[in-house]
Structure 1
Amino acid sequence: MQTLDLVDALDGVEFGHGVHLDAQLAGDGDRVALVLPGAERARENSAFVAALAADHSVVLPSHPGFGRSPRPGWCSSVADLADIYLDWLERAGLTGVTLVGLQFGGWVALEIAVRKPARISRLVLVDSVGVKVGGPLDRDIVDIFATPRAELERRLYADPAFRLGDLALAAEDDVLELARNEEALATYGWEPYLHDPRLAHAIGRIAVPTTVVWGGRDGIVTPEYGRAIAARIPGARFERIEQAGHRAQVERPDEVAKVISALAA
């Protein structure tokens, strides 16, 4: 783990808001993958980052407010997060970037993709939220803030081995990171709940090849929800990963990384 400073990464070009993000950096491939995480703990993505780094240079930041990344007072919406990453991509001069959005990070990735950024060559969504696919009274996304912890973990992970379990018995650092991530998630996604109403139509403008990857046992947003997102994005492919819950990249890191690597093969 190391700190990615958005100012320093831009060869001294002043970003303007003093944004500093904690990030996992791995690999030295010619292809760059910008991976936007969900609310999982940072180390839960380590195996996925390592697998993807076999043929990519991977940058996986913690969003402002998550993990060890401070949140500036002005940053309070998914649109603000999208602006941060768009600005970084532009100033860093990266091209042909694979944008990967994991769960909540999929919402951020969609917000970026609808703006048709020239530096993004492909989009991958893994168990993404962010889109209202049902009617006004349909519950598309399980209310994670109201669901008891044990039930929530059952819905997040198909394999019990990945569940944190009784928080009273968990490591203090894990509990603190979990609490910080959930607080940040509420800041960005409380109202409307984990979606932007305009995205249901706006994602029809996405102009890069898109693959939607879904855990077959996702208990937060069903595979049917994922297929509905894919159906709204022109030409999008849908890939189902069996024996995985909401965080498919955590439970099946090699399988998800293989899907992504095959896109540029």
Structure 2
Amino acid sequence: MTSQTSTMVSLRGVDVPMVRCGSGPPVLVLHGGDGPVDHLPFAKSISSSFELLHPTHPGFGGTPIPEHFDGLEDLTFLYLDLIDSLDLQDAILVGFSMGGWLAAEIAVMNTGRFSKLVLVDSVGIKPGGPLDRDISDVFALSAQDLQKATWHDQSLVPNFPEMSDEELQMIASNKIAHGLYTWEPYMHNPKLRYRLHRIDIPTLLVWGENDGIVTPDYGAALQDLISGARLSVIPDAGHHPHIEQPAEFTARFLEFASG
């Protein structure tokens, strides 16, 4: 993989750390509620053809949460400013889980700087009724049940007892930030489903077949709301298909991105 650089983008007093790697058309990657990762499993395979831009949401990775932030809408407008600051052109916007919701919120406001949209096991809408559990309650599930819902391959479950105090503290702070952005209303914007028709760029929805957080049926409901969207389900994968099946995920991304 080509070398990566870490930069800090300052946006009206909010500092956003960002990792850049690769070369080619830009791909803006928005991480999910688990927080940023040291490397994206598929980055090596695509960095020869694309430049990846991977910012860290405020509150994740040990970064502070601005005092005026109280929900995902604040992230949406922050990233609209970031996108303008970077002067992105014909970029591919990719979002994972909560980051998929964020990407969808950005796309319904303005797709002018993007050529394509990829949502991976995304949350953001509520297809069912008030009493339907469309999205598993990740804050209420036991650790064991959460692991089963998240991972198809249980050998990939993080080994928390072997983690350092610093690593555990980082996970705890990421959970606090995740809760701030997604708790009320839980993991969705009631108005988003009525705005998704505004997305006017090719859209790919990638889903783990065994996702117990948001099932492929949830992905199908999202597909119905985005004109022309494609739903691509990856077998033997849970909520993180890019980690459990990186080769298959990369192949489907490249087919879509290069088409």
Is the TM-score greater than 0.5?
yes
Partner of 1:221: 214
Deviations 1:138-161 (A, max 9, x none): 110000111001110111111112
- After the TM superposition, which residues 61-80 of structure 1 pair with which residues of structure 2 at under 5 Å, given as runs? 61-80=55-74
Query: What are structure 1's unaligned runs of at least 5 residues?
Result: 8-14
Instruction: Check conservation: 2:100, 2:121, Cα contact below 8 A.
Output: yes
Q: 2:200 aligns with which of 193, 207, 211?
A: 207
Counterpart-to-counterpart distance in 2, 1:258 and 1:84: 31
Deviation at 1:2, TM superposition (A): 5.3
Partner of 1:12: none
From the superposition, tell whether residues 114 and 41 of structure 1 become closer, same or farther in structure 2 (CA, over 3 Å).
Answer: closer
Deviation at 1:211, TM superposition (A): 0.5
Deviation at 1:263, TM superposition (A): 2.0
1:126 alignment partner AA = V
Counterpart-to-counterpart distance in 1, 2:42 and 2:173: 22
Q: Which secondary structure state, in structure 2, belongs to the residue aligned with residue 43 of structure 1?
A: coil
Q: 1:91 aligns with which of 79, 82, 85?
A: 85
Q: 1:127 aligns with which of 114, 118, 121?
A: 121
Give identity over the alignment, percent.
38
Deviations 1:101-132 (A, max 9, x none): 10010010011011123101111000000111
From the superposition, tell whether residues 174 and 54 of structure 1 become closer, same or farther in structure 2 (CA, over 3 Å).
Answer: farther
From the superposition, tell whether residues 253 and 43 of structure 1 become closer, same or farther in structure 2 (CA, over 3 Å).
Answer: same
- The yes-or-no answer on 1:47 pairing with 2:41 is yes
Q: Which secondary structure state, in structure 2, belongs to the residue aligned with residue 188 of structure 1?
A: helix
Instruction: Check conservation: 1:33, 1:59, Cα contact below 8 A.
Output: yes
Deviation at 1:92, TM superposition (A): 1.9
- The yes-or-no answer on 1:81 pairing with 2:84 is no
Counterpart-to-counterpart distance in 1, 2:114 and 2:168: 35
Partner of 1:118: 112
Query: What are structure 2's unaligned runs of at least 5 residues?
Result: none
Counterpart-to-counterpart distance in 1, 2:222 and 2:199: 12
From the superposition, tell whether residues 225 and 200 of structure 1 become closer, same or farther in structure 2 (CA, over 3 Å).
Answer: same
Partner of 2:53: 59
Deviation at 1:196, TM superposition (A): 0.3
- The yes-or-no answer on 1:146 pairing with 2:149 is no
Counterpart-to-counterpart distance in 2, 1:52 and 1:176: 32
Deviation at 1:44, TM superposition (A): 6.5
Q: 1:260 aligns with which of 237, 253, 258?
A: 253
- The yes-or-no answer on 1:237 pairing with 2:230 is yes
Counterpart-to-counterpart distance in 2, 1:77 and 1:43: 22
Instruction: Check conservation: 2:5, 2:21, Cα contact below 8 A.
Output: no
- After the TM superposition, which residues 135-174 of structure 1 pair with which residues of structure 2 at under 5 Å, given as runs? 135-165=129-159, 167-174=160-167
Deviation at 1:40, TM superposition (A): 2.3
Name which of structure 1's ranges 77-86 and 229-238 shifts more when overlaid on structure 2.
Answer: 77-86
Instruction: Check conservation: 2:95, 2:102, Cα contact below 8 A.
Output: yes
Deviation at 1:208, TM superposition (A): 1.0
Instruction: Check conservation: 2:36, 2:60, Cα contact below 8 A.
Output: no
Partner of 2:19: 24
Partner of 2:29: 35
Deviation at 1:45, TM superposition (A): 4.9
From the superposition, tell whether residues 135 and 242 of structure 1 become closer, same or farther in structure 2 (CA, over 3 Å).
Answer: same
Counterpart-to-counterpart distance in 2, 1:180 and 1:248: 24
Deviation at 1:136, TM superposition (A): 1.5
Partner of 1:177: 170
Deviation at 1:41, TM superposition (A): 4.7
Q: Which secondary structure state, in structure 2, belongs to the residue aligned with residue 231 of structure 1?
A: helix
- The yes-or-no answer on 1:189 pairing with 2:160 is no
